[in-house]
Amino acid sequence: MSDDARATVTPVEDPAPAPPVHGRARRFWSARRLPSAVVALLALAGAGLLLYDVAAVRADRPAMAWRRRLADELATRPLDDPWVLGGAAAAMAVGLWLLVLALTPGLRSVLPMRRATPDVRAGLDRAAAALVLRDRAMEVSGVQSVKVSAGRRKVKVAAVSHFRDPDRVRADLDAVVGEGMHGLGLARPLRRSVRVRRPKKR
């Protein structure tokens, strides 16, 4: 075989192995200190006031006017009274709100990241993720301005292209944003929507 026809073999390095995933990356739970503090203070105030009134009655003193009136209203008003129905609806709404707070994680602005080690949990703020993707998108040729919004399940990219074919800009932008999303290291892949338009004529 001649030197001209001799094939040249270029060694290809294997890509770096992905870091192992240790456990499922769950959403971060909010401490919800403000609702807990409000409920605790209201319960403490109500229990303290009721305990004081009961102790006063045990000491042969008259019950407070509000408790006597409340007992009379509950004894005389029918169940289909608008005030009774309104109070029941308000109590049910507050109870449902507390159940939702207790059963949902909260912290919707934090995206969980892949767990490379079992003892470390990491999260990325949605605003920070959008800023990183916006910087990557601005590197695409033909992009004049871009707006990126990152949700819990989808990333929306709206760009303005002042030159080049919009379809080509959109294809390059989609590839760059996809690569940037992969580099964020999120536990759950996000869907993306990329739109490109021409600047408005003045």
pLDDT per position as a tens digit, 41-96:
988 998 998 888 888 888 888 888 888 887 788 788 888 888 888 988 999 998 89
* Global pTM exceeds 0.85: no
**Beta bridge partners of residue 17, listed in sequence order:** none
Question: Whose CA is closest to 86, among 99, 97, 77?
Answer: 77
| Blockwise average pLDDT, block size 10, the chain, 202 residues | 39 44 64 80 90 85 82 82 89 88 80 81 89 94 93 93 91 94 89 92 73
Q: What is the pLDDT of residue 6?
A: 39
Residue 163 buriedness (CB in 10 A; 0-12 / 13-18 / 19+): exposed
Q: What is the pLDDT of residue 12?
A: 37
DSSP, collapsed to helix, strand or coil, labels residue 22 as coil
**Beta bridge partners of residue 195, listed in sequence order:** 158
Question: Quick check: 90 and 3 in contact, CB under 8 A?
Answer: no
Element (H, E) at 143: strand 143-150
Q: What is the pLDDT of residue 24?
A: 62
